[in-house]
Amino acid sequence: MRDGFIKIGAASPQVGVAACSENKAYILDCIGQAAKRDVRVLVLPELCITGYTCGDLLLQDALIKAAADALIEIARQTAGLDMLVALGLPVAVGTGLLNCAAIVHNGDILGLVPKGHVPNYGEFYEKRHFTTWQGKTAPVDFCGRQVPLGEKQLFTCSGMPGLVIGAEICEDLWVPAPPSIAHAAAGASVVLNLSASNEVVGKAAYRRLLLKSHSARLCCAYAYADAGCGESTTDLVFGGHNIIAENGRILAETAPFETEPLAVTEVDVARIAYERRRMQMFTFKDEAYTRTAFSLAHRETRLTGRIEPYPFIPHNDDARYDDILNIQAHGLKKRWQHAKSKCVLVGVSGGLDSTLALLVADKAAKLLGRKPGDIMAVTMPCFGTTALTRDNALALCESMQVPCQTVDITLAVKRHLQDIGQPADVLDVTYENAQARERTQVLMDLANRYNGLVAGTGDLSELALGWATYNGDHMSMYAVNASIPKTLVRHMVAHIAATTENAALQNALLAILDTPISPELLPARDGKITQRTEDLIGPYALHDFFLYHMVRWGASPAKLLRLACLAFNGEYDKPTIKKWLRVFITRFFTQQFKRSCMPDGPKVGTVSLSPRGDWRMPSDAEFSAWEMPE
């Protein structure tokens, strides 16, 4: 439960049609198996105590009573078990019969939630047997005990405030306005669906799509338990297709007809709460709901799902790289058109960021019907420039047929340092930043001279860390890489290298990919790069991971550390991760002033640090609440 994680299961126990006593044993065995896997919330199928396909036997007193007796015994045997269980049965109320989800915890029946939409089409003639509950939630007599009955019920965990559970049954999800919409609006972070959905060709794919989109729309976790093969009788076949989704992602699934009856995963209710807080789309003011509290022992949820170490990188989706390049290029195209510029200038260093910026400029030129000659590449060698990066830059421009101008800034920087009284042998931040600012001045002045537009090369990771010289490489007229993190920059360049038909361009890109990341602001030694960025500020893989989970999902430093240790297990140890996490937090807060006046740039993904839209933060915010403990 620490950090908002809770383990949820969806299962399809074996079912004997109309065999309540046998089904009780199957259900208890399934609950036991879930407990062994540390499941804290378990959902079972619709009418699993009796079987869904009982037909007119559902109207018989004998079956209704047998189901009620079985539920009482199942509830009794959950006493002392640290788990909430939702399971289905028919419940007689007055002269009507309801298809209900029973919510069971620690020996008690916390509530009965009736199916809101009873179908009467195709092979599903439920209205022959079941009615709908028209009243408000109210206690009813169930086997001598008073149990709340009603659709509008939520079950809240007292030890984990973010865990609020609502339930609906099968068809409720397929209608235009599912009850879960109201559940979520009233605060439910987890929705349980007890279902008996038969298999026909194409239905499994539709089911997946439905759950992904519905969990995204409600920004919730959605656990769906389907009737298994034991239900298959007469004209219907059931496959036990259990799915657990969270906010648009399927986290766990048992495919139809698998022998494994139990899908288990961890959902992050803290992440759900953060996203809802950010979206401001839920009012949580529906007083018509009955809220029943339950408690779970507070213990750490062991995380078994894969934590993606590179959250910004598209996986098994090469089309995403083309989408990203298109967004960048169309943004630059608009600025180019609007400014009525004759050309776009890019300072090329032979490194990854400027390479991607030049590729974006080339794409924008093509969109505008311009020639490569309408792009002006500028190399500006100085104290730390090596033959390797210079040759990279020149080969890149030549392969793209982009004219490249070389402006050696060495003498200009030396004169500037002399003018301000900086000793020539003091290689400090003044020495370094003077070069970055001189390069920006050259680009801006050339833009004035040729009526051009300076495309910025700095990336999202550099913005997050403040790894840019204020009013140096920090500044441009349009920052095309502003929402592309460093890890993605590398993959973008690699993708273009792998897919281009231009052999010269491919060779140039591969050489750049093989070059260490460096600002090259300190003198080279024996012609080799002496300044490696990741030695100074830490691995970009870690920083991009921290950035994604902190900005996108509001993860605390402790949670960042926990997730990173799992994601990078075997690559970085915990002390190393903690060290660079401290660096990330310190730099993220102290360098906000650079982001507060950053230039325009295209938003590409869900994480952006633009002060005009996605990330609004005071430049002088304290970060004591985010400090890492020793």
Residue 340's pLDDT is 96
Q: Is 320 in a helix, a strand, or coil?
A: helix
Please give the full DSSP string across 252-311, using - where no structure is assigned. EEE-TT-S--EEEEEEEHHHHHHHHHHHT------TT-EEEEE-----PPPP-S---S-T
Q: What are the tokens at 461?
A: 């990771």
Q: What is the pLDDT of residues 176-221, one digit of tens each?
A: 999 999 999 999 999 999 999 988 899 999 999 999 999 999 999 9
Query: Which whole number is the average pLDDT over 380-394?
Result: 92
Q: What is the pLDDT of residues 316-347, one digit of tens each?
A: 888 999 999 999 999 999 999 999 999 999 99
Tell me what percent of the residues of the chain surpass a pLDDT of 70. 98
The alpha helices in 177-306, defined as continuous H runs, are 179-185, 203-218, 269-279
- In this prediction, residue 391 has a pLDDT band, given cuts at 50, 70 and 90, of very high
**pLDDT > 80? residue 124:** no
Element of type H or E holding 495: helix 486-499
- Catalytic residue from among 7, 30, 46, 363: 46
**pLDDT > 70? residue 629:** no
Q: So what's the architecture of 2-294 in CATH?
A: 4-Layer Sandwich (3.60)
- Break the chain into its structural domains and give their ranges: 2-294, 319-626
Closest CA to 172 of 129, 210, 216, 219: 210
Query: Which whole number is the average pLDDT over 94-117?
Result: 96
Q: Which one-letter DSSP state was computed for residue 599?
A: P
Q: What is the pLDDT of residues 444-476, one digit of tens each?
A: 999 999 999 999 999 999 999 999 999 999 999
- In this prediction, residue 123 has a pLDDT band, given cuts at 50, 70 and 90, of low
Q: Say if residues 166 and 190 touch (Cβ distance below 8 Å).
A: yes
Residue 286's pLDDT is 67
User: By mean pLDDT, which of 280-284, 385-389, 454-458, 622-626 is the weakest?
Assistant: 280-284
Closest CA to 166 of 93, 75, 272: 272
Q: At what angle do helices 319-339 and 352-367 cross, to 10 degrees?
A: 70
Q: Give dist(CA 335, CA 52) in Å, integer.
A: 61
Annotated active-site residue 170? The verdict is yes
Neighbour count for residue 596 (Cβ, 10 Å): 14
Residue 520's pLDDT is 73
- Catalytic residue from among 7, 48, 100, 115: 115
- In this prediction, residue 283 has a pLDDT band, given cuts at 50, 70 and 90, of low
Residue 317's pLDDT is 86
**pLDDT > 80? residue 526:** no
Residue 288's pLDDT is 86
Q: Say if residues 283 and 144 touch (Cβ distance below 8 Å).
A: no
Q: Mean pLDDT in the chain?
A: 93
Residue with tokens 């920087």: 413
- In this prediction, residue 517 has a pLDDT band, given cuts at 50, 70 and 90, of confident
Residue 88's pLDDT is 98
Length of the chain: 630
Annotated active-site residue 46? The verdict is yes
Q: What is the pLDDT of residues 549-588, one digit of tens each?
A: 999 999 999 999 999 999 999 999 999 999 999 999 999 9
The CATH class for the domain spanning 319-626 reads alpha beta
Query: pTM, whole model, 2 decimals?
Result: 0.90
Q: What are the tokens at 163?
A: 């865990």
Annotated active-site residue 115? The verdict is yes
Residue 402's pLDDT is 97
- Catalytic residue from among 20, 100, 157, 170: 170
The CA-based angle 558-562-563, given to 5 degrees, is 115
Q: Give dist(CA 551, CA 281) in Å, integer.
A: 19
Residue 285's pLDDT is 63
Q: What is the pLDDT of residues 489-505, one digit of tens each?
A: 999 999 999 999 999 99
Q: What are the tokens at 245?
A: 């989704």
Q: Say if residues 160 and 1 touch (Cβ distance below 8 Å).
A: yes
**pLDDT > 90? residue 279:** no
The DSSP bridge pattern shows strands 221-225 and 190-194 to be parallel
Q: Which one-letter DSSP state was computed for residue 528?
A: B
